[in-house]
Structure 1
Amino acid sequence: MRIAILGNKGSWYCKKLSDAANTRGHAAFRLEFRDLASHVLEMQQEQFFSFDTDSNHNRLTDFSCLIIRTMPPGSLEQVVFRMDLLGRLEHSGVTVFNSPRSIECAVDKYLTTSRLAAAKLPVPTTAVCESSEAAMQQFQQMGGDVVVKPLFGSEGRGIFRISDPDLAYRSFRTLERTQAVIYLQQYISHPGYDTRILILNGNVIGAIRRHSNNDFRTNLSRQAHAESYLPNDLEAELAIRAAELTYTEFAGVDLLYRSDSPNECYVLEVNAVPGWRGFQSVTKVDVASLVIEYLEQKRNNVDSSQS
């Protein structure tokens, strides 16, 4: 196969995926979102390209698979164009992994939380609004202790906890002025760790517990430390169901327990571009090889159905 990997220069994940692809006899190429382009020609099939800095270009339909390893920030127009192009590329026969549909859902915290709650999965009490007045009202109703998150974002960036009314008002006003969506969840007092479960094709491939380092956030990018963990049946079921509800074939699902109710487990997030560097360091699971093997199976199934 020819495999395109949408990722950042110097990315550890791109290297691991490229190495795994090369080991299995495939050719892998790193691309960037900013270089993607479409040519819609009159009365002809649409053409998709990736232009590099030397003005050379790759025809995207020459790739069997395209793996999404980053979702960089951008304007609304840029984000919409990227998702539209990925959708059209998938329609043309390229296997996009994860699918544009799943990326669109999982990258949006509101849509993910809403879908999980509608399916009766346990999620923290959440409010999403645009005005500071509405946010203050929800802040009070949640007991005056909330976690504010960017609607789009990962690795704990832009997340902060507020329990002071004056600070809450100033923070919500600032977000309102910048035309941000205000996403807040009731703070859950937890035992200092959460659980990250990796899902591939509806199966658990492993899990870790991430212990915080004097921070309510348990992201490894914020100096939390990880240990290998065997999830119980309930945790595995929640993770598999959450991935299914967000259409993600490859997902990192985060679960959190309450300190005062150790049997009460919440689904915090579904990540459709999950990191696994810390996961692999403690579990020794070769995630990149599993991903490439799975894509081989998907392409074999596609080729068989077309023959």
Structure 2
Amino acid sequence: MPTIGLFHSTVRAEEKLIIRAAREKKAGIKLIDIRNEVFNPLHYRPDFDIALERSVSTVKGGYATEFLEALGAVVINPSGVARICEDKFLTSLALQKTGVPTLKFAMAFSLEQAMAAVADLGGFPVVVKPPLGSWGRMLAKVNDRDSLEAIIEHKDVLGSPQQKAYYLQEYIQKPGRDIRSFVVGGETICAIYRTSSHWITNTALGGKATNCPVTKELSQLSLQAAKAVRGGILAIDIIETSEGLKVNEINHTMEFKNSEEPTGVSISGAIVDYCLQKINSND
């Protein structure tokens, strides 16, 4: 029986869905809490056929992935994919480099650089984001220089070194929603609208998920975005703009508990199938 090593920290609803899907498909599933592991290359012996990295902690998950790959294990998603997707600036660079429609962005390291970036982006308002982060946390819609000064001062005084890199993005007036599509392997399997009265539409912050039809345009854009970051199991965040659909961010350990019911698609089942296909292709 092929065995998936599920590397986790907190076991969320998503991991429970993956466990259930694996058991329904008669696949072995081994739960491995990375908080309890000692990753010593002299003694660690993988006892699974493929690793599925699902840690809540990006840092811990990243180190675990690099370690397992160094031992020759196959990890979903690979470290190269994770390294790009966990960093919003690197994601934007990858999208732009490959010609995927995306929002205008810039990186700055001081207030004056940030003000120059605002001008390049078309002026206020802009969105300031931490390069590393998820769940819509620490995002700020900045309407003027006074607000930008205050945010940068707080980041400089209170923030970690990563917070002192200011990732700025053009602000787009959404139609009360955005789109999250799910790509597994080479297929866009489903998508949701995330609707909210707030400009941040993340379901973690109360956005409501409803089914979004996967049109040819949406599918092609999602696959282009996935290819830009080297593919795998991904969630693509997309914004509807006056110029058409544009990719905002890409998630490599996405949450999907609010997406299976409205879409009628077993995302967890597709994840397990992808892992099993990878095991078979490596035999």
TM-score, L = length of structure 2: 0.91
The one-letter amino acid paired with 2:10 is: K
Where 2:261 maps in the other structure, the secondary structure is helix
- 2:90 is matched with 111
Alpha-carbon RMSD across the aligned residues, in angstroms, is 1.9
| 1:73 shift after superposition | 5.4
Match runs of 1:103-252 below 5 Å: 103-142=82-121, 143-177=123-157, 178=159, 179=161, 180=163, 181-212=165-196, 214-252=197-235
If asked which structure has higher relative contact order (CA below 8 Å, sep 6+), I would say: 2
Report SS of the residue matched to 2:136.
coil
Q: Any conservation in 2 of the 1:208–1:279 contact (CA below 8 Å)?
A: yes
Task: Tell me the residue number matched to 1:54.
Answer: none
Task: Give a deviation string over 1:141-192, Cα, whole Å, max 9, x none.
Answer: 4312111111111121111211022111110122233332111101011211
- Give the counterpart letter for 1:137 in structure 2: A
Gapped regions of structure 1 (runs ≥ 5):
41-45, 49-58
Cα shift at 1:24? 2.3
Instruction: Tell me how far apart the structure 2 counterparts of residues 85 and 288 of structure 1 sit (CA, whole Å).
Output: 22
- Residue in 2 aligned with 1:36? 37
Q: Structure 2, unaligned stretches of length 5 or more?
A: none
CA distance in structure 2 between the aligned counterparts of 1:246 and 1:92, rounded to whole angstroms: 23
Task: Specify the structure having the higher radius of gyration (Cα).
Answer: 1
Amino acid in the other structure paired with 1:64:
D
The CA distance in 1 between the partners of 2:273 and 2:62, in whole Å, is 25
Q: Following the alignment from structure 1 to structure 2, what is the Cα–Cα distance between the partners of residues 186 and 111?
A: 16
Question: How far apart, CA to CA, are the structure 2 residues paired with 1:140 and 1:36?
Answer: 48
The match for 2:255 among 272, 275, 288 is 275
| Greater CA drift, 224-233 or 182-191 | 224-233
Q: CA deviation at 1:7?
A: 2.2
> CA shift at 1:220, angstroms?
1.0
Q: How far apart are residue 257 of structure 1 and its match? A: 1.5
Identical counterparts, % of pairs: 25
Partners of 1:265 and 1:297 lie apart in 2 by: 31
| Structure 1 counterpart of 2:270, from 290, 293, 307 | 290
SS class of match (1:5):
strand
Alpha-carbon shift at residue 88 of structure 1 (Å): 4.1
In the TM superposition, residue 240 of structure 1 has moved relative to its aligned partner by: 0.3
**Conserved in 2, the CA contact under 8 Å of 1:5 and 1:66?**
yes
